[in-house]
Structures are given as C-alpha cells and as structure tokens.
C-alpha cells in the first residue's frame, strides 16, 4: 500500500516507456519489505535544468537518469564521485537532507558483468563507440581494470577528443585515441581491439549498422549496451563471424544492483536481479 510515508524513487529520461527499471526496483522493494515505490518520469529535455530542483522539491530519495539528463543535471548537484567526474555524467542521484550526490555506475556495472563472464580487461585494447557519458564511463572503467588502451569513436569528433583529454589527466600512461564514428575509421581500429562496446543511443542505430564487424579481430567481444533493443545491430552477424556478442542486459543487472544499494543500503546479488528482469521481459514489461 502506498501511503503518505512511502518513499519515492524514479527514472528521469526521454523516452522512458521501454524501461525495465520500475519493474526491477519495485520488485526489489517488495522482496525487502521496503515502503517505497519507483516510477518513470518522461521529461522533456528542454526542462533538464529543472530536474535537480524537482528532486529536492518533491523529496525524491533516489533517481536514475538517462540521456540527455546524465550530463545536464551536473550543475545542480552538490557532490559527484570520481567515477562520475571522469565520465562527465551521472546516472544515479541520491538525495539526503537537500544534498544531491551524483554517481556513475555504468562503467563499473559493465566491468562486473564482464568479470563474471571471464572476460579480462588487463592489458586489453578497447574500442568504444560513442563519447557521451556512458562511453566515457566505460572507457574509464576499462582503464581502471588495467586496459592497455582505448579508442573512442564519436559522430562529433571534438567530443571524443574532449573525452580523451579528460581521461588523460588520470590515465596518462594508457594509449588513448579519438576517431570519427565512420566505417573507414572503424576499419582502422577494430582489428586491434579485444572488446568493442556500442555506447551510442538508439538514434545512432543506423550509423552502427553501417559498421562491418568483419573488421574485428578473431576472438573479439562485441557489447551493445542498448538492452531494450530486441535485435541490436550485428548480433547475428557477429555470431556468424565467431565473435562473442553480449547485449546490455548484464550491464543493466550489475549497475542496477549497485544503484539499489546506493538507494537503500541493501546489497542485492546479480542473479536475483537477473531473474527479476528476465521475468519482466517475458511478461512484456519492456
């Protein structure tokens, strides 16, 4: 039962109707016996500057953020973590007594999933498609795990260059590069990559589809973080080529577990969350 004491959490993004987050978090609240509810708020991007104040005014306890709010909420936050600073974006905001703290669990969520799958990053080379908040978070997490180097591809090259400059301040020892997001440039970098991660949003699907995974090295892994796509670009093609393909579902599980602990203080095991998510998908909640 929702009452006047029920604590409110939510997702702020546009669009959000495909999100599994409400099903995921509300089931966890039920299992842990927490008087809380999680809702999805589809917010016009033109209202992004009002999000921080809305969290305070409505006393939202915790919020997940999607593009474009991950970056545009930063000026309204009181504190951000090192991971969020390196990513230049936050995907989790926790509100305590009027103080907003921003976190970024995207990179760590993906790394925990890759670790669980036995995919090692130490000494590896990564190619990251997209230099927004998710791409930067993933690149930073790669380097934290000891990756030898990362190349960031982005449709707007200047954004990839800015991301590399920011990463160089902490990871000056690594081989970092910025390239346009094009088939010609991808053909130059993919043969040297151990792992390729598509961190672009759904609107770039046709651009990603224009890249040829046949350029990738034998034994490489391709990850697409867009878990909600039923058939992400190159899934079948990669498997036909003998490349390992991973959807973003594993990343969602692990970053969701991290966010739930930040929200509530309760740790949750990844298999528990994966079971909840797969059931939600089966029931057509995405």
Q: Is 65 helix (H, G, I), strand (E, B) or coil?
A: strand
DSSP strand pairing (221-224 vs 244-247): parallel
Between helix 106-116 and helix 133-144 the angle, nearest 10°, is 50
Q: Is 7 exposed, middle or buried (0-12, 13-18, 19+ CB in 10 A)?
A: middle
Torsion of CA 273, 276, 281, 283, to 10 degrees: -170
Q: Is 70 annotated in the active site?
A: yes
Going by C-alpha positions, the residue among 73, 24, 77, 80 that lies closest to residue 50 is 73
Residue with tokens 């890759």: 114
Marked catalytic residue, from 70, 120, 165, 205: 70
CA 248 – CA 93 distance, rounded (Å)? 21
Going by C-alpha positions, the residue among 271, 280, 263, 272 that lies closest to residue 228 is 280
Going by C-alpha positions, the residue among 205, 214, 204 that lies closest to residue 233 is 205
The alpha-helical segments, DSSP class H, found in 103-156 are: 106-116, 133-144
Please identify every residue annotated as catalytic.
70
């Amino acid at each position: 039962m929702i009452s006047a004491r029920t604590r409110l959490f939510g997702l702020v993004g546009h669009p959000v109707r495909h999100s599994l987050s409400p099903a995921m978090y509300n089931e966890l609240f039920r299992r842990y016996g927490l008087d809380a509810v999680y809702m999805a708020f589809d917010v016009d991007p033109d209202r992004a500057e009002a999000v921080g104040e809305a969290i305070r005014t409505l006393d939202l306890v915790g919020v997940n953020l999607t593009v474009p709010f991950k970056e545009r909420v930063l000026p309204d936050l009181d504190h951000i973590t090192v991971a969020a600073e390196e990513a230049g974006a936050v995907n989790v905001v926790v509100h305590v007594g009027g103080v907003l703290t921003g976190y970024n669990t995207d990179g760590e969520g993906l790394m925990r999933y890759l670790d669980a799958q036995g995919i090692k990053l130490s000494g590896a080379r990564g190619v990251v498609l997209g230099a927004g908040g998710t791409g930067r978070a993933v690149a930073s997490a790669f380097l934290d795990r000891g990756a030898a180097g990362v190349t960031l591809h982005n449709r707007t090259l200047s954004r990839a260059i800015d991301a590399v400059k920011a990463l160089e301040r902490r990871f000056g020892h690594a081989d970092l590069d910025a390239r346009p997001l094009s088939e010609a440039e991808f053909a130059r970098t993919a043969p040297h990559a151990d792992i390729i991660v598509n961190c672009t949003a759904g609107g770039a699907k046709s651009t990603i589809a224009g890249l040829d995974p046949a350029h990738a090295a034998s034994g490489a892994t391709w990850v697409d973080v867009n878990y909600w796509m039923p058939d992400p670009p190159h899934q079948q093609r990669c498997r036909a080529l003998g490349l390992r393909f991973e959807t973003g579902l594993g990343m969602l599980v692990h970053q969701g577990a991290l966010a739930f602990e930040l929200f509530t203080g309760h740790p949750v095991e990844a298999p528990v969350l994966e079971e909840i998510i797969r059931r939600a998908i089966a029931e057509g909640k995405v």
